[in-house]
């Protein structure tokens, strides 16, 4: 669907801006359609692999659950032998597991307390970008001339270099 623009002949009028925009929009739609089809194909392939991986993790989770149950039974049996009573073995196992869960919860609360959702580099970079866009939207100052353009180019280059280091 691509139109070729050859040298204008004497008989044919030169295509206008609307014709060229129409051709460009048609090309952009075709390109977007092709990219969409490629993306859908890749997404389907990735979804199938993700489903297989999720099924494998589900099986691993079920087997780990059974292992925890067997570990609990083993701990009860060992504590029952140690204390000479089944109920004392169950109670000792329960206390042991509750102590472990409490310690893990305490550590988790302390770690979450250290999390800060503050991203200073991103915030500063975005504010600089907004300032640059605002400056670009301002009407040009006839007195500033080429000095301001060189200064802007150096500023952008400095920001790019600092972000890539």
Which pLDDT does position 1 carry in this prediction?
A: 47
pLDDT value of position 72: 93
Could you tell me if 78 and 89 are in contact, meaning their C-beta atoms sit under 8 angstroms apart? yes
| Per-residue pLDDT of the chain in tens (165 residues, 90 and over written 9) | 445 555 555 566 777 788 888 888 888 888 888 888 888 888 888 888 889 999 999 999 999 999 999 999 999 999 999 999 999 999 999 999 999 999 999 999 999 998 888 788 888 888 888 888 787 777 766 665 555 556 666 677 676 677 665
Tokens standing for 58?
A: 């589900």
Angle, vertex CA 121, rays to CA 115 and CA 124, nearest 5? 125
Three-state SS annotation for the chain: CCCCCCCCCCCCCCCCHHHHHHHHHHHHHHHHHHHHHHHHHHHHHHHHHHHHHHHHHHHHHHHHHHHHHHHHHHHHHHHHHHHCCHHHHHHHHHHHHHHHHHHHHHHHHHHHHCCCCCCHHHHHHHHHHHHHHHHHHCCCCCCCHHHHHHHHHHHHHHHHHHHHC
Q: What is the pLDDT of residue 30?
A: 87
Q: Is the pTM of this model over 0.75?
A: no
């Amino acid at each position: 669907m691509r139109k070729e623009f050859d040298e204008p002949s004497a008989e044919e009028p030169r295509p206008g801006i609307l014709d060229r925009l129409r051709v460009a929009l048609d090309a952009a739609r075709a390109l977007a359609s092709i990219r969409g089809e490629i993306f859908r194909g890749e997404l389907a392939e990735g979804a199938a692999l993700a489903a297989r991986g999720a099924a494998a993790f589900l099986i691993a989770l079920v087997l780990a659950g059974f292992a925890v149950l067997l570990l609990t039974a083993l701990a009860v049996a060992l504590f029952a032998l140690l204390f000479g009573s089944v109920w004392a073995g169950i109670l000792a196992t329960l206390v042991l597991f509750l102590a472990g869960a409490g310690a893990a919860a305490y550590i988790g609360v302390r770690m979450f307390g250290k999390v800060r959702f503050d991203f200073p580099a991103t915030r500063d970079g975005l504010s600089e970008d907004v300032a640059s866009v605002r400056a670009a939207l301002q009407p040009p100052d006839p007195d500033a001339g080429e000095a301001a353009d060189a200064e802007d180019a150096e500023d952008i280059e400095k920001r790019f270099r600092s972000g890539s280091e």
